[in-house]
Structure 1
């Protein structure tokens, strides 16, 4: 596969076009803080999951997949834009830009459908609690997540293959913080409709299909919870859903806002639009670990137990029975 009519060898990632040079260091430091926070926060969950047997439950396997996807997405996008502002190294090779584009859309696809699996877990737990142990097993969750990771390749790969051979004879500047389909194909010297329309349809399918299932699941959950006679029972049921609802809202609501605003005539400056995109791309991976730890009982107990062991080793026996950590 070869690209045609190329007048340059590299793309240049501009980032925020209106940002003054004196703020480059500040923005780079902020993005580095976000990246380190994502690695540390999600890394803590991975370590807890590996150490604590009580976290080896279907719901936490789903969260583990979300954590891995968040880390990979952040690692795909952040190092290059940090280097652009810290070292003025914004160049990315022609092929490298398409590889980044592919992974950006791939991990975005995986995230959306993993969130749908999380909604499925809560739907079965509340609407069919007696069948939950038989339906939501570790093996079934493994197969569902595996399917997501495998079929998630299809559309991003198709987009990359179709965009790569276009005649790129215009400017090589990517007005974005990373390479995505729109920012790349807008530089092609050809009719973009043949390429942008299928990409838009793909984006809508990836966004709206899991979102439709999530909305259906939680509407059904709300109806089931309202039928519970005990106020304490209703509160307990809602509390088990709150972490997933927060994560889902952080992921989907800003994306829907951006997509809808562009189609109903609400216009933003390029810098403001990029700020919103970066916030909904990076804020959820950074804040999700706090939600797991503060709103999920098993993870919270595991973390506090491990911190207590680290701070006061003399108060703990040499051998710790990890099976009791989450009880």
Structure 2
């Protein structure tokens, strides 16, 4: 029996399945785990943002970039996790038509913004190490703030086109999202009509530009950074420069490596089960927002020193107050 479709949208909401096939007895533990991940993302990135704002020693271009990365990570967690937590905590599987498309828009816009800010970070290190005398002129706080703001604004405007393009499709009878949040593939897979393939191909081209253009520039930037380091004469300077770049490279790898793995796997014909695909998507989406604050705070020398200094000052202040009493 074949299913007949109309060319008119007649569904009012979507059903979020989450992890397909998950037994009900695991709903509680999964909701608790997702809640802990949500708290880690919000608290960790919120802490990073607060430290960068409050510590005047961190008012430098690279930390303006870290501030924007932390903002994208925190916003991404706030956009994606509350609904899937509610799905397993209160069995609230329903997402309205408008809410699902809004979530899709923010998911892809935030991901693309993060990608372009990672590009900014790579360029920052490239100029700082390759052209150290020009760095203070090119990378000022104002210039970096304007550039990061443009990354946000232009990306969010560009993805309005993707959103409205998907909205032109009719959604007929299917409304089950086999994913933990609404994204473009999950939604348009449920569309009907003759234009679905065209809408998906345009969205794929947009995604490839978002992923591959920044990634290409990032790889070239860090390649030239490594070449520049190898040409330096002092071993100590090598170590200093590489230790400065290591956190940025690690943050970039956390974002791009899993995504490239998934795209390559699909291209080469490796098929994952539906559950495995959902788990992989959640891992590469949520691991960077959880891990990045630890990299900022424990692997970045200036932030670590600022935190240590504040901690020592607080201990001295407490000791003085205790002594006075």
Aligned partner of 2:199 among 195, 201, 217 = 195
Query: Normalization by structure 1: what TM-score?
Result: 0.93
Q: What is aligned with 1:72?
A: 75
Aligned partner of 1:52 among 46, 51, 55 = 55
Aligned partner of 1:296 among 286, 300, 321 = 300
Does 1:205 pair with 2:195? Answer: no
CA drift at 1:128: 0.5
Q: What is aligned with 1:215?
A: 219
Whole-angstrom distance in 2 between the partners of 1:240 and 1:124: 13
Question: How big is each residue's C-alpha offset from its partner over 1:239-262, in whole Å with a ceiling of 9 and x where there is no partner?
Answer: 110010010000000001111111
CA drift at 1:267: 0.6
Q: What is aligned with 1:321?
A: none
Count of residues paired in the alignment = 314
CA drift at 1:8: 2.2
Whole-angstrom distance in 2 between the partners of 1:25 and 1:208: 39
Q: What is aligned with 1:278?
A: 282
Q: What is aligned with 1:152?
A: 155
Does 1:133 pair with 2:136? Answer: yes
Whole-angstrom distance in 2 between the partners of 1:151 and 1:88: 37
Aligned partner of 1:99 among 102, 120, 129 = 102
Does 1:39 pair with 2:42? Answer: yes
Whole-angstrom distance in 2 between the partners of 1:227 and 1:161: 50
CA drift at 1:316: 6.0
Whole-angstrom distance in 2 between the partners of 1:310 and 1:195: 57
CA drift at 1:169: 1.2
Does 1:83 pair with 2:86? Answer: yes
Whole-angstrom distance in 2 between the partners of 1:224 and 1:198: 39
Whole-angstrom distance in 1 between the partners of 2:178 and 2:254: 24
Query: Normalization by structure 2: what TM-score?
Result: 0.94
Whole-angstrom distance in 2 between the partners of 1:104 and 1:64: 19
Does 1:114 pair with 2:121? Answer: no
Question: How big is each residue's C-alpha offset from its partner over 1:132-188, in whole Å with a ceiling of 9 and x where there is no partner?
Answer: 111110111012111101110233211110111311113211111110111000001
Secondary structure of 2:144's partner?
helix
Secondary structure of 1:11's partner?
strand
Secondary structure of 2:20's partner?
coil
Whole-angstrom distance in 1 between the partners of 2:285 and 2:320: 41
Q: Which moved more, 1:299-308 or 1:172-181?
A: 299-308
Q: Which runs of no fewer than 5 residues in structure 1 stay unpaired?
A: 318-327
Check whether the contact 1:309–1:316 (CA below 8 A) recurs between aligned residues: no
Does 1:28 pair with 2:16? Answer: no
CA drift at 1:281: 0.7
Whole-angstrom distance in 1 between the partners of 2:149 and 2:265: 34
Whole-angstrom distance in 2 between the partners of 1:311 and 1:79: 38
Check whether the contact 2:11–2:173 (CA below 8 A) recurs between aligned residues: no
Whole-angstrom distance in 2 between the partners of 1:152 and 1:63: 18
Q: What is aligned with 1:247?
A: 251
Q: What is aligned with 1:169?
A: 172
Does 1:12 pair with 2:1? Answer: no
